[in-house]
Amino acid sequence: MRTHLQRVLVLAAALLGCIAAHRATQFETMAERDNAEIRSFVPTDAALHAYFAATRALQSEVSRDALVSKDCGEMNRAQSDEGLTTLRRSLTAHPRCYAFFRRRGLEERETGIWMTLVFWMSQYAMQPDQVAPLEVLSEPQARFAQRHRAEFDAFMRQFAGRSDTDQDD
Reported as a single tens digit per residue, the pLDDT across 55-74 is 999 989 988 999 888 888 88
Is there a domain that residue 35 lies in? no
Is there a domain that residue 15 lies in? yes
What is the reported pLDDT for 18? 44
Domains contained in the chain, number: 2
Cα-based distances in Å from 85 to 78, 81, 129: 11, 10, 30
Is there a domain that residue 22 lies in? yes
What is the reported pLDDT for 79? 62
CB 26 within 8 A of CB 36: no
For 27, phi and psi rounded to 5 degrees? -75, 135
Report how far residue 39's alpha carbon sits from residue 53's, in angstroms, rounded to the nearest whole number: 23
Report how far residue 11's alpha carbon sits from residue 101's, in angstroms, rounded to the nearest whole number: 52
Report how far residue 59's alpha carbon sits from residue 46's, in angstroms, rounded to the nearest whole number: 20
pLDDT in tens, 93-135: 888 889 999 999 999 899 989 988 998 999 998 899 999 988 8
The mean of the pLDDT values for the chain is 79
Are 127 and 154 in a shared domain?
Answer: yes
Are 58 and 16 in a shared domain?
Answer: no
Are 47 and 24 in a shared domain?
Answer: no
pLDDT in tens, 71-89: 888 877 766 566 788 888 8
Report how far residue 113's alpha carbon sits from residue 147's, in angstroms, rounded to the nearest whole number: 19
What is the reported pLDDT for 151? 93
The percent of residues in the chain predicted with pLDDT above 90, rounded, is 40
Report how far residue 95's alpha carbon sits from residue 88's, in angstroms, rounded to the nearest whole number: 11
Q: What is the CA radius of gyration of the chain?
A: 22
What is the reported pLDDT for 161? 62
Rounded to two decimals, the pTM is 0.74
CB 159 within 8 A of CB 59: yes
